[in-house]
A and B are shown apart, each in its own frame.
Chain A
């Protein structure tokens, strides 16, 4: 966990890609879950942020 946080602070690709992947997966789950309409409403924004973040952070150093 400490390594993950240090990686985030030092703008390393691995942890940031992990964070972006988590956001994308969360967005997809929010889009398709049958429980909360608010989660469905915000799902697109979460996926979009995750996807854009993934594109940006994939240019970070290893």
Chain B
């Protein structure tokens, strides 16, 4: 029986066959990869280079006909000496530090508790991970209702526990509670994510290590600090970096909850950037602002990739 490939090769006209045979494996690989590379260049690399260029100008997108001036490093120097933006960075840091701290502590504790075998373990895990499956827009909207001073459940719960009248304080209004309210919502939403990563770390520890520790009469406390914590640490690092990068860029949920207010109390860097770019229309200035945030996130992402590779090597 004739080989179908040979038959196809014989049937191919000689000039076409020569052309196809003339392409090296490398050339064929490039043909396949080229569309993706072109798409990435068009939608990622080109806008990035354009933003870098704009960051050295006074361009305003709402005045396209105005003459664009080259201002050098003036935009960067203004941003990096601006007290207001420095305050926004501190607000971002407050949000970042507390969300990560709470999510790591609660996520690790939940993972440690759920790692034991008991009835309903799977159901409980599913229930715990539900919040992270919701859209940030939905979460922002329904927590706005929960935080509502007159009809919100949170205020009623506080009244029930402490006796403070529900309508006497506002979780999202003036009084210093707003910055903690957004931390509570983010923690509620993303603790399950940290829990899942920690759970993966805990389940990757082989039982024989604990058995060897038992033989050596190591206490549970010592096993926890010398086996569990060191072996879960790379996973925890991963969770911290991932949440750090995500929360540094946090925008949607906080905009829906507080819009950056009251005053500038919850004005995170990303919300301020959006205001500069699309409300004040200072495109050149906001491009410099965006580059500063981009370099920070890119730097953190580099460490994240390194940590990820370490986890993979284990």
Contacts and interface: CB of A to CB of B under 8 A. Distances in A.
Contacts of B296: 27-28, 31, 44, 47
A27 B292 contact: no
Contacts of A48: 295
Interface string B105-147: 0000000000000000000000000000000000000000000
Interface string B69-106: 00000001000110100100110110010000000000
A21 B295 contact: no
A33 B241 CA distance: 18
Interface string A30-41: 011110010011
Nearest to B88: A32
Nearest to A18: B306
Contacts of B81: 37, 41
B299 interface: yes
A54 B90 contact: no
Contacts of A55: 302
Given A31-B296, A40-B80, A44-B292, A54 B302 contact: yes
Judged by DSSP, the binding face of B is helix
Contacts of B93: 32-34
Interface residues of B, number: 19
Contacts of A42: 80
Contacts of B89: 31-32, 40
Contact of A32 (B92, B299, B306): B92
Contacts of B303: 21, 24-25, 54
B306 A24 contact: no
Contacts of B30: none
B224 interface: no
Interface in A2-56: 17, 20-21, 24-25, 27-28, 31-34, 37, 40-44, 47-48, 50-51, 54-55
Interface in B186-228: none
Judged by DSSP, the binding face of A is helix
A44 B86 contact: no
A17 B304 CA distance: 12
A54 B299 CA distance: 8
Given A21-B306, A31-B89, A32-B96, A41 B80 contact: yes
Contacts of B306: 17, 21
A44 B82 CA distance: 13
B48 interface: no
Contacts of A24: 299-300, 302-303
Q: Which residue of B86, B93, B299 has the most chain A CB atoms within 10 A of its CB atom?
A: B299
Contacts of B86: 37, 40
24 contacts: A17-B306, A24-B300, A24-B303, A25-B303, A28-B300, A31-B89, A32-B90, A32-B93, A34-B90, A37-B81, A37-B86, A40-B80, A40-B86, A40-B89, A42-B80, A43-B80, A44-B80, A44-B292, A44-B296, A47-B299, A48-B295, A50-B299, A51-B299, A54-B302
Given A24-B299, A42-B80, A51-B298, 6 more contacts: A21-B302, A32-B90, A33-B90, A40-B80, A43-B80, A51-B299
Which 10 pairs across A and B sit closest by C-beta, in order of nearness?
A32-B93, A24-B299, A51-B299, A54-B302, A41-B80, A34-B90, A21-B303, A40-B86, A47-B299, A32-B89
Interface of B: 76, 80-81, 83, 86, 89-90, 92-93, 96, 292, 295-296, 298-300, 302-303, 306
